[in-house]
A and B are shown apart, each in its own frame.
Chain A
Amino acid sequence: MNAIEVKNLSLHYGSFQALKNVNVQFQEKMITALIGPSGCGKSTLLRCLNRMNDLIEGVKITGVVNFRDINIYAPGTDVVELRRHVGMVFQRPNPFPLSVFDNVAYGLRVHQEMKKIQLSAIVERSLQATGLWDDLKDKLSETATELPLYQQQLLCITRLIAIEPKVILMDEPCSALDPIATAKIEELMLELKKKYTIVIVTHNMQQAARVSDYSGFMLMGELIEFNKTGRIFTNPDDKRTQDYITGRFG
């Protein structure tokens, strides 16, 4: 089943066309990886899925992005409500300069009034889900921005799953982390896939091959090829995909 369906999506930054008529479907409870060289538009595509590109001045978008069969670019779309269901993890860990607890509770507080005791239960459950509980249960009141980097990134994932979105968008979530932390995040992704649809942008082809079910290869704003990950990495249809994954350019 499709969680998100992208139809004829084009995006311009001023006169530069960053996405060219992209069509793709992201399957529910699967991990889809977007790969391609720098500047190919993969992060831009990702940021279209929860309308984060709206924040950039001078962006023009045409086409359709259906989330649960409703076009999120239709006039009158509640962007705040959309982002509550389609959350995002960024390249640089960006916990708020608040306590660990307040970081995880942030989304909950934003969306509804909640009793402290309920809040604590969800914070604990969320931290357990990302494996941070044992490390941080005594540090809930410490400032999150002072944690080690990989814990910061895990915390950013934690604060997202605390509000139980449908889709998690990850924009190169491991590029600031070492291989051990990367392995932890990948392990977590495989666990999270049971409940969430995940779309990940990554520079790391091994990572895409390890964790994803589907992969899309992008080049110069176009989606060149989209298929099961096994197929993309062993027997791609397009020569440009072949060249990229074998390291001939990029």
Chain B
Amino acid sequence: MKNAKEVVVEKSLMLIAFSAIFMLFLIAVFIFKEGSPLIFKIGLKNFILSAKWSPLEGQFGILAMIIGSLWITAGALVIGVPLGLGCAILLSEFLPRGITAFLKPTIELLAGIPSVVYGFIGVVVLVPFIRERFGGPGLSVLAGSIILGIMILPTIISISIDALQAVPRSYREGSLALGATQWQTISMVTLKAARSGILASIILGMGRAVGETMAVIMVAGNAVKIPNSIFNPARTLTTNIALEMGFATGDHRAALFATGVVLFVIIMILNILANYAFGKRK
């Protein structure tokens, strides 16, 4: 028989664990409860396929924000994936282990910098640069993409390095022993063996880019209009909620929660895809 102290410890740990899960569950329920009635009221089609967002006139179309999020996230991936992957390959395949052991935690530290700091650097340095070089307001899809592209680097680099280092040494030896060069070995064997982990890193980075709010508010311009060039300002789903939550009431407030529902669904899908990609790794 277990002694009483063991039982108490076990039960309280269980209680704490379950309450954490329960709170997450409550948050999800709350968002759906607040947001979904409005979607039903105006219709899913009018909600996500209309670009007319004027809450005072009862127009709640979030297409501009969906497209804004898509553009900025895609831009972040275009910048973050090649840089991150290149960096991960360099660190795991070319540099001596000692240097990687030092640089990898350093890169992971970047994830700890508050997003407002990234946004601040963007406003002070990047936005004026874009304005002077390319014209337009500077606050733009491009600025948002670059800042987010940098912000997702730690995620992509760190998880990709883990995936590359998990590739058995015997694969590399087998390839080199056939007279392949180091680069042939990396591109034809190592990257293929690590591809599910690398894919997961990209999806998780994408999740971070979709969900990021503060840095985007500061550099992306936030105009409710479908951007037609990367130098146009744009508003994303997250920034839409953050910008208007302070003064929204009634249907307007519900529409912001409904925006949250859409985000929730997108992030869920990305996480499921990431888990699936991880799961395929042996």
Contact residues of A with B, CB < 8 Å?
50, 52, 55, 57, 80-85, 87-88, 90, 92, 94-98, 106-107, 109-111, 156, 159-160, 163
Closest to B190 in A: A96
| Chain A residues, Cβ within 8 Å of B184 | 110
Assess whether A52 is in contact with B177, with CB atoms less than 8 Å apart.
yes
Assess whether A159 is in contact with B178, with CB atoms less than 8 Å apart.
yes
Closest to B195 in A: A97
Taking A92-B170, A94-B171 as known contacts, 13 extra A-B pairs with beta carbons closer than 8 A to each other, sorted by chain A number, are A57-B96, A80-B180, A83-B179, A84-B179, A87-B179, A90-B174, A94-B174, A96-B174, A96-B189, A97-B189, A97-B193, A107-B179, A110-B180
Judge if B3 is at the interface, Cβ distance under 8 Å: no
Which of A87, A96, A106, A163 gathers the greatest number of chain B CB atoms within 10 Å? Answer: A96
User: Contact partner of A96 among B97, B175, B179, B181, CB < 8 A?
Assistant: B175
| Chain A residues, Cβ within 8 Å of B180 | 80, 106-107, 110
| Chain B residues, Cβ within 8 Å of A84 | 178-179
Closest to B189 in A: A96
A94-B168, A97-B171 are contacts. A87–B192 as well, Cβ < 8 Å? no
6 contacts between A and B (CB under 8 A): A50-B177, A52-B173, A82-B179, A87-B178, A107-B180, A163-B179
Assess whether A94 is in contact with B170, with CB atoms less than 8 Å apart.
yes
Chain B positions 139-177 with a Cβ under 8 Å from a chain A Cβ: 168, 170-177
Closest to B172 in A: A55
A90-B170, A97-B171 are contacts. A55–B176 as well, Cβ < 8 Å? yes
Shortest Cβ gap from B99 to chain A (Å) = 12
User: Contact partner of A55 among B97, B173, B192, CB < 8 A?
Assistant: B173
What are the 10 A-B residue pairs with the smallest beta carbon separation, nearest first? Answer: A84-B179, A94-B170, A88-B177, A107-B178, A83-B179, A94-B174, A110-B180, A97-B193, A96-B189, A110-B184
| Chain B residues, Cβ within 8 Å of A83 | 176-179
Judge if B188 is at the interface, Cβ distance under 8 Å: yes
Shortest Cβ gap from B44 to chain A (Å) = 42
What is the predominant secondary structure among interface residues of chain B facing chain A? helix
Closest to A85 in B: B179
Q: How far is the CA of A205 from the CA of B195 in the complex (A)?
A: 42
Closest to B170 in A: A94
Shortest Cβ gap from B88 to chain A (Å) = 19
Assess whether A110 is in contact with B188, with CB atoms less than 8 Å apart.
yes
| Chain A residues, Cβ within 8 Å of B173 | 52, 55, 88, 90, 94
Shortest Cβ gap from B174 to chain A (Å) = 4
Q: How far is the CA of A84 from the CA of B177 in the complex (A)?
A: 7
Shortest Cβ gap from A171 to chain B (Å) = 10
Which of B170, B178, B180, B188 gathers the greatest number of chain A CB atoms within 10 Å? Answer: B178
Q: How far is the CA of A107 from the CA of B189 in the complex (A)?
A: 12
Closest to A83 in B: B179
| Chain B residues, Cβ within 8 Å of A163 | 178-179
Q: How far is the CA of A98 from the CA of B266 in the complex (A)?
A: 33
Assess whether A81 is in contact with B179, with CB atoms less than 8 Å apart.
yes
Q: How far is the CA of A84 from the CA of B181 in the complex (A)?
A: 10
Q: How far is the CA of A150 from the CA of B173 in the complex (A)?
A: 19
Closest to A91 in B: B170
| Chain B residues, Cβ within 8 Å of A52 | 173, 176-177
Closest to A110 in B: B180
Q: How far is the CA of A87 from the CA of B179 in the complex (A)?
A: 8
| Chain B residues, Cβ within 8 Å of A88 | 173, 177
A81-B179, A106-B188 are contacts. A96–B171 as well, Cβ < 8 Å? yes
Shortest Cβ gap from B195 to chain A (Å) = 9
Q: How far is the CA of A98 from the CA of B167 in the complex (A)?
A: 13
| Chain B residues, Cβ within 8 Å of A95 | 174
